[in-house]
Amino acid sequence: MNKNIFIFLACLLFYPLPVFAHNFTGMVGFYDGISHPVLGLDHFLAMISVGIVSAQIGGRAIWTVPTTFVSIMTIGGFFGFFLIIDEFYFVEIGIIFSVILLGFAITIEKNIPKNLIMLFVGIFGLFHGIAHGIEVPAAANPLLFVLGFICGTTALHIFGVGIGYFSIKTTLSLILLRVTGVLFAAYGFYLFNLMF
């Protein structure tokens, strides 16, 4: 073995790696920003739902609905970053309602006016953004964390658009999509029940 490689590896044993000071989501940057919307099932279902609903509406809504969510979520993230609170039940309740109402929106399909969807998606984006922003102060690199949760959210929206787009092609897949919406809403009610 090369002497320099041996010295390098030996030094690593004595070097305190920052990752050892953190738990599974160590808030160290981009990865943790991505994992926040992906690993939290409530966030995950809401993000997927936004994409599905936008695909069900069709037309320009395929990109305007998710863009509205991400834009207002980013504003909410900055708000959450500067929010100094220990308890944020109102944020969690807003997130839970996003899962419930977006689940119902999937089930109802195109029977909700687009402007109403945009309004609710914006409100839900604000709550999700605040929740992400509250996590930012613990991050070793806040900018990377924010970019991570924006990218993670956008990826989940695109995934939801794909699900919605291909699920409205046949009657059977449309029925399965509506059942999925009911299941999302039921999970939201389950979370709401856990809060109280």
pLDDT of res. 22: 32
Residues 96-124 have pLDDT tens digits of: 999 999 999 999 987 788 899 999 999 99
Closest Cα to residue 49, out of 90, 113, 96, 93?
Answer: 96
Range ranked top by mean pLDDT from 32-41, 61-70, 142-151, 166-175: 61-70
* Dihedral (Cα; 151, 72, 137, 83), 10-degree rounding: -170
Instruction: Report pLDDT digits (tens) over 11-45.
Output: 433 433 333 333 344 556 788 888 888 888 999 99
Torsion, CA 31, CA 68, CA 131, CA 18, rounded to 10 = 20
